[in-house]
């Protein structure tokens, strides 16, 4: 019985240590599960012309994510928007030659510059994709 109690105490201590380390990491980096790429410290706003709209399929998941190739004054960027179903639900779509303004976190993704979009503005309309910490509006983890 004494060894069982020792085991239980060690298990609790190990759990507390793991949770503390994870919490410290999340607090320091501002990263959590699904929004792990978004970094508010690298947020920028860019304007440009949509060169291409791509639907990226996710293995084993329904739907797909919408990406835009955006031509700006300083080059091309890959803009990661969000699930196609979320854009459709909000009656937003994009086409080649659309002029847009994007606010989001500039990141390196698969060896090139990309933006994880927080907001997209076009034709006097704004689509909010994420909150200021990068938590997706479609995730169900929104802060209230």
pTM of the model: 0.70
Q: In the chain, which residues have pLDDT < 70?
A: 1, 7-11, 13-36, 58-63, 141-144
pLDDT of residue 29: 40
> 3-state DSSP: the chain helix, strand, coil percent, rounded to 5?
30, 40, 30
Q: How many CA atoms lie within 13 A of 20 on its CB side?
A: 6
pLDDT digits (tens, 9 = 90+) for 55-86: 988 665 556 899 999 999 999 999 999 999 99
């Amino acid at each position: 019985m004494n060894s069982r109690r020792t085991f239980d105490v060690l298990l609790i201590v190990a759990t507390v240590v793991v949770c503390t380390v994870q919490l410290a990491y999340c607090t320091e980096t501002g990263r959590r599960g699904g929004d792990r790429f978004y970094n508010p410290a690298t947020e920028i706003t860019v304007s440009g012309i949509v060169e291409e709209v791509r639907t990226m399929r996710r293995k084993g998941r329904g739907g797909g994510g919408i990406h835009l190739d955006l031509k700006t004054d300083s080059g091309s960027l890959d803009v990661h928007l969000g699930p196609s179903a979320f854009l459709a639900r909000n009656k937003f779509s994009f086409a080649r030659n659309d002029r847009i303004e994007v606010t989001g976190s500039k990141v390196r993704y698969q060896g090139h510059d990309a933006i994880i979009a927080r907001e997209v503005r076009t034709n006097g309309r704004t689509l909010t994709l994420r909150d200021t910490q990068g938590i997706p509006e479609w995730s169900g983890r929104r802060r209230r």
